[in-house]
């Protein structure tokens, strides 16, 4: 388990910690293990409705294998403001984390679980917090993703009838922006500008036409 040197109350749980008896694992071992199982059996696997080949998330398998898949818990039933404030601290720590030698930063992720949040409130709280946080994350070259039972109504990129963001426990996921994220950012000029700053000179071939259409000048 990692402890934030700037705030000892902020911890990150590694997958190997789930076999131990730390206080977070004692209190929330069941939902933590449930999310790791979900990651291994859903995110790292192909899905018939995905609309493309490969796993649902192409980065999770390496993150799990190389020890850069981190978990955190937001206890209780937070308000949107509570959750947004908590995530601000984890965003700052995420930016200071160093991946193991030979592991690209794109494989690092933090999943902040909100296991006490009732399903009836999960959609409203998680969606609202993600909306509040997204612009700050994107400006920093990061993405913040919303997951909860339901699933969330956002459609998949390759199949508009597929809803890929369902998870057994409500959570927000922090990760680095990658070149394939353009479709998630193109509707907002500031988000588009942040994307172009990082990937405008090396867009994926499949997105070059769409990116050229929004490029200034």
How far apart CA 75 and CA 77 sit, in angstroms, is 7
Q: Same domain for 117 and 217? A: no
Share of the chain above pLDDT 70, in %: 100
Q: Same domain for 126 and 217? A: no
Q: Same domain for 118 and 188? A: no
How far apart CA 204 and CA 148 sit, in angstroms, is 29
Query: How much is the pTM?
Result: 0.94
Q: Same domain for 38 and 129? A: yes
Query: In this structure, is the dihedral angle defined by the CA atoms of residues 78, 81, 84 and 88, taken in order, positive or negative?
Result: negative
How far apart CA 123 and CA 121 sit, in angstroms, is 6
For residue 154, which of 141, 138, 137, 167 has the smallest C-alpha distance?
A: 167
Ramachandran sector of residue 79 (left: φ over 0; alpha: ψ -120 to 50; beta: rest): beta
Phi, psi angle pair for 27, to nearest 5°? -80, -35
143 in helix, strand or coil?
Answer: strand
Q: Same domain for 71 and 159? A: yes
Query: According to the model, what pLDDT value does residue 158 have?
Result: 85
Q: Same domain for 185 and 106? A: no
Q: Same domain for 67 and 117? A: yes
Q: Same domain for 119 and 49? A: yes
Residues of the chain with pLDDT under 70: 217
Q: Cβ distance 152 to 123 under 8 Å? A: yes
Q: Same domain for 81 and 27? A: yes
**What total number of domains does the chain contain?**
2
Q: Which two tokens stand for residue 48?
A: 């018939």
Q: Same domain for 122 and 29? A: yes
Query: According to the model, what pLDDT value does residue 217 have?
Result: 60
Q: Same domain for 100 and 160? A: yes
Residue-range definition of the domain harbouring residue 109: 2-177
Q: Same domain for 190 and 171? A: no
């Amino acid at each position: 388990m990692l402890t934030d040197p700037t705030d000892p109350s902020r911890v990150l749980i590694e997958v190997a910690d789930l076999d131990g008896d730390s206080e977070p694992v004692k209190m929330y071992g069941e939902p933590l293990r449930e999310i790791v199982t979900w990651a291994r059996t859903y995110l790292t696997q192909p899905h018939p409705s995905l609309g493309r080949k490969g796993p649902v998330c192409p980065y999770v398998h390496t993150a799990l294998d190389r020890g850069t898949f981190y978990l955190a818990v937001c206890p209780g039933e937070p308000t949107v403001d509570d959750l947004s404030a908590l995530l601000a601290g984890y965003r700052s720590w995420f930016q200071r984390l160093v991946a193991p030698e030979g592991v690209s930063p794109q494989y690092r992720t933090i999943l902040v679980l909100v296991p006490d949040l009732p399903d009836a409130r999960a959609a409203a709280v998680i969606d609202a917090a993600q909306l509040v946080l997204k612009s700050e994350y994107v400006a920093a070259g990061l993405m913040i993703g919303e997951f909860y039972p339901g699933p969330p109504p956002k459609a998949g990129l390759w199949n508009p009838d597929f809803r890929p963001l369902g998870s057994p426990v409500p959570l927000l996921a922090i990760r680095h922006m990658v070149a394939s994220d353009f479709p998630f950012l193109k509707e907002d000029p500031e988000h588009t500008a942040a994307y172009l700053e990082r990937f405008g000179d090396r867009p994926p071939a499949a997105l070059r036409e769409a990116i050229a259409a929004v490029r200034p000048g």
